[in-house]
Structure 1
Amino acid sequence: MHSQRDDLYAELHSRPFQVIASPARVSYLAVLMNVEQKRRDFQHFSALYERYGVVPPAKDSVCLEVVFGDVRIRRESHLEFISYTIINQGAPFLADPFANNGLSCLPRDWIEGIEGTVVSAFHVAIEDAKEQPEPELAHVKSYFEGMRLVGSRPQNGDAQVWTTFQVHSDGCGRILVYNRNMSDSQLGRMVQRLIEIESYRLFALLGLPTARLYNQRLATMDQRLSELTAQLAETEAEVDEQAVLTQIIDMAAWVEAARAKTTFRFSATSAYHDLVLIRLNELKEDEVSGHLTITEFMTRRLTPAMRTCKATSDHLENLSRRIDRVSDMMRTRVEMTIQSQNQHLLASMDRRSKIQLAMQHTVEGLSVAAISYYSIGLIKYLIEAAYEHGAPIDKSLAVGVSVPLVIGGVWWATRRIHRRFIKLAKERGEDL
């Protein structure tokens, strides 16, 4: 058996769908946390077990669920946030469906002790339309403080859903569900989809402020790059290559820093948006006369924001590629300039070497005379020494005869050395 076989099976069941009976009150919190905050949040969640006299879990998990009487709490760990789903099926169901909610049954100080940044917070009120008729539309609108409603009949009309996708006076969103003909399991799955749509669309929108912030600077960078490219295209004009390279390096550094800061956010935005679209498709909505459906609302409002994020991400990638091309062009131009300078330098060195060779030939002639002069002087000393010791020679004649012999010998030796160096240079492929 594979060592991770059990884990692979368990992964498919790590986040089971809720089973919710109507009526019920559900509250949902999605809190943005880092790794350290997630670790402390598990300890904070374990403290809630101890308050109700329940043994806390030994270690953290992807999904933890606990029941305290009529209250069921599910804590789920996601990549960048922790979510809490609180289902209260024992609260007094008042005329206003949002008067009581899931959070109202938990200790206030424990809720305030949750670390992190709340991104999504809303209440879901579930009513049973089989036992109690649905109220008039005016009453429904009053539950949402008079805000514009978005209506939907998911699961082919087995339920009626009302929401506004706005924050109300209590700082939370609201979703009202009337169960017409759904089982507890079907209702739990539908509510889970609604929760994920509302939560994931907010996390998807986290990338929009970032996109708007960088769009302003990207327009400026685009203009600067266009000006640099035009400047390089004017071949007749002199270009300060060092200054241009400095500007290109600064632009490349900014773009890479921007990509490092935005890559995760824009990738997460795309992933959350895909999840929202999948959940919308799973709702199987019917239209409510006179109202936008959830799918229509999301398509009209969320999709443009996602396209803005996608356009900004593509703009950064495109600008990075363009800077690379301009940088390559600039490097090629610098290399050509260096090669031209090297050619001029080599030509100058070749001229100097020829001058030096001519000077060497001149010096060579002078050196033959100088060596011959000193050699004849030494021979003269030898002749005089021999003559003084009785050798039968004519000093003047001997010195005169040695002059052409010495000059010829020195010249021959010099030419032989010269030919030897020429031969060695030719063997090495050098041109003299």
Structure 2
Amino acid sequence: MNLNNTSQLHGLDVHPLRDSLYDELHSRPFQVISSPARISYLAIMLDGEQKQTEFEHFRLLHQVFDLSPPQHDSACIEVDFGPFKIRRDKHLEFTSYMISAHQITEEFGVFDQAALSSLPSAWLSKLPGKVMVAFHVAVEDAITKAEPDLAVVKSHFEGMRMVGSRPQNGDVQVWTSFKLHSDGCGRFLIYNKRMSDSQLGRLVQRLVEIETYRLMALLALPMARQYNAELVNMDNQLAQTTARLSDDNAQLDETSLLAELIDMAAWVEATRAKVAFRFSAAKAYHELVLNRLEELKEDEVSGHLTITEFMTRRLTPAVRTCVTTSDHLESLSTRIDRVSDMMRTRVDMSIQSQNQELLSSMDRRSKIQLAMQHTVEGLSVAAISYYSVGLLKFLIEAAYDKGFQFDKSLVIGLTVPLVVAGVWLATRKIHKRFLRLAKEK
């Protein structure tokens, strides 16, 4: 009985994501694989538009075999088409197809009858996206049969150097070369000695994930190698700029140097934006590979590298290269910021020095203007007094002409000092008033 649908947990308010979180742990169940088996695996990288196109293309395959196609896309879809079974898994960057053939002909070699050939060629050739991972897995029954000798195993891998191990305490024997063969695919050969179908399904899933995540992690390596050379040049350029800043005798163009630092900072930030996701993904895929390798619990096949030894020998250094490049970018960004701060400090000090000189010059000009102002004030007193006396002279002459008896010349002469004194006092009063206003806050 579903409590969530019938009683709503006795009236309790259920979180809307609870059911989907429960289903998440069961969204990618392990397969049950019996031996012998022939399996092909594809991991196809898709962009946003291709993801929807790919699902519609997957639905077309159902119509070819007269099956009802799924109406909605999901993380994992398993469909039995009759001659073969497909498990389709959606991931963040890619979609994977695991094809298992139902009919195995003993007359063919272990990799001559690939499950991938069961798919309609017309449908397969139009599958959207770019194939990143492609390999075949052949499972042989060694419970009732003896394990073949090394020469027979090597013949299935076109004479390539082998990597072999005995996972799960020797219950199976796994062989691979981690190389592409003449058909453009990789190969895994498994001899099952004591594993059940469920255990074998989990083992195959781990091997599939190891190979897929290994290649996805290595996607970042070409990018790291590309930018490492450019980072060395950028380091040298930054070192030269820093040396020029530390040289007290050097004549520097601060504006030009600051423009160079801005260009370097812009390049670093643009590069970090390009590589951040790829390098982070490489670290995450690497951790998944190490986790799956640990789950294998391998024992060594005499004279051969185990899968774990091979992976840790080559994959781990490659991922470390990506991590080092990412750290190098981060360090370069920090050092550019420090040099930029030094440059800005130098420019600020230069501006302060210029401001100090400008203030000193303004102070000198203010003193000159003050002296000139005092001179002008004296001239202004004389000019105003002259015109004031002239106006008073008209009044005195008008009064004299009307019959008032006085010494006209003496009166005019006496008005001169009085007018000058009055104008001077008025000017001083106005001057003091402006000074008082200037001091007020």
TM range (shorter): over 0.9
Instruction: Please list the CA deviations of residues 197-251 of structure 1 after superposition, one character each: whole Å capped at 9, or x if unmatched.
Output: 0111011100000000001100000000011011111123221111101111111
Find 1:257's aligned residue among 261, 264, 270: 270
2:371 is the counterpart of 1:358:
yes
Runs of 4+ that moved beyond 6 A: none
Instruction: Please list the CA deviations of residues 165-198 of structure 1 after superposition, one character each: whole Å capped at 9, or x if unmatched.
Output: 0000000000000110000000000000000001
Q: Secondary structure at the match of 1:135?
A: coil
2:111 is the counterpart of 1:98:
yes
Letter in 2 for 1:27: S
2:153 is the counterpart of 1:140:
yes
Alignment of 1:102-251 (within 5 A): 102-251=115-264
Partner of 2:293: 280
Instruction: Please list the CA deviations of residues 391-413 of structure 1 after superposition, one character each: whole Å capped at 9, or x if unmatched.
Output: 22221111011111101101111
Q: Secondary structure at the match of 2:140?
A: strand
Displacement, 1:70? 4.5
Distance 1:73 1:332 in 2: 65
Letter in 1 for 2:385: S
What is the aligned length? 428
Displacement, 1:47? 0.5
Distance 2:107 2:228 in 1: 49
Partner of 2:78: 65
Displacement, 1:131? 2.3
Instruction: Please list the CA deviations of residues 121-163 of structure 1 after superposition, one character each: whole Å capped at 9, or x if unmatched.
Output: 0000001101222211101100000000000100110000000
Aligned 8 A contact 1:94 1:100 in 2? no
2:374 is the counterpart of 1:370:
no
Partner of 2:4: none
Displacement, 1:95? 4.8
2:336 is the counterpart of 1:348:
no
2:23 is the counterpart of 1:3:
no
Distance 1:113 1:132 in 2: 41
Letter in 1 for 2:326: S
Displacement, 1:253? 1.0
Distance 1:223 1:117 in 2: 38
Displacement, 1:383? 0.5
Distance 2:29 2:125 in 1: 28
Distance 1:42 1:287 in 2: 42
Distance 1:352 1:96 in 2: 102
Aligned 8 A contact 1:41 1:114 in 2? yes
CA RMSD, 1 decimal: 1.0
Worse-matched range after superposition: 52-61 or 95-104: 95-104
Distance 2:360 2:55 in 1: 77
Partner of 1:75: 88
Aligned 8 A contact 2:83 2:118 in 1? no
Displacement, 1:46? 0.4
Aligned 8 A contact 2:176 2:188 in 1? yes
Aligned 8 A contact 2:136 2:186 in 1? yes
Worse-matched range after superposition: 58-67 or 389-398: 389-398
Find 2:97's aligned residue among 80, 84, 87: 84
Displacement, 1:48? 0.5
Distance 1:379 1:141 in 2: 132
Q: Which runs of 5+ in 2 are unaligned?
A: 1-13
Worse-matched range after superposition: 178-187 or 125-134: 125-134
Distance 2:246 2:348 in 1: 17
Q: Secondary structure at the match of 2:299?
A: coil
Distance 1:305 1:93 in 2: 41
Q: Which runs of 5+ in 1 are unaligned?
A: none
Partner of 2:67: 54
Partner of 1:32: 45
Distance 1:146 1:264 in 2: 38
Q: Secondary structure at the match of 1:383?
A: helix
Aligned 8 A contact 1:23 1:89 in 2? no
Aligned 8 A contact 2:210 2:292 in 1? yes
Displacement, 1:415? 1.1
